[in-house]
Amino acid sequence: MQEAANQIIASKGAEVITTKDVVVCFWVTEKFKTELFFCFNKASHTIPYLFHYSWAREDRSKGVAERLHWVDSITDYIKMKFKNGGSGNISTYLKSALYWTGKWTPEFKPSDHCQITLLGQKYTLTCKPTLNNSSNAVGFTKTISESEVVELNSNLKNSEQFSLK
Q: Is residue 161 part of a domain?
A: no
Strand positions, DSSP E, the chain: 23-27, 36-41, 49-53, 68-75, 79-82, 87-89, 114-119, 122-127, 140-145, 150-152
Does this model's pTM top 0.85? no
Q: Is residue 148 part of a domain?
A: yes
| Model confidence band, residue 98 (pLDDT cutoffs 50, 70, 90) | confident
Residues 6+ apart with CB under 8 A from 136: 103
pLDDT of residue 9: 67
pLDDT of residue 134: 53
Q: Is residue 57 part of a domain?
A: yes
Average pLDDT, the chain: 76
The DSSP secondary-structure symbol of 92 reads H
pLDDT by residue (tens digit) across 22-76?
788 898 877 655 788 899 888 777 889 999 988 777 777 777 778 889 999 998 8
Q: Is residue 159 part of a domain?
A: no
pLDDT of residue 35: 83
Domain that holds residue 26: 2-152
Instruction: Report the domain count for the chain.
Output: 1
Can the peptide bond before residue 110 be classed as cis, meaning omega within 30 degrees of 0?
no
Instruction: Say whether pLDDT at 16 is over 50.
Output: no
Q: Is residue 157 part of a domain?
A: no
The larger pLDDT score, comparing residue 130 to residue 58, is at 58
pLDDT of residue 130: 65
Q: Is residue 114 part of a domain?
A: yes
Q: Is residue 98 part of a domain?
A: yes
Residues 6+ apart with CB under 8 A from 163: 1, 150
| Model confidence band, residue 158 (pLDDT cutoffs 50, 70, 90) | very low
pLDDT of residue 82: 94
Q: Is residue 158 part of a domain?
A: no
| Model confidence band, residue 14 (pLDDT cutoffs 50, 70, 90) | very low
Cα–Cα distance, 153 to 3 (Å, whole number): 10
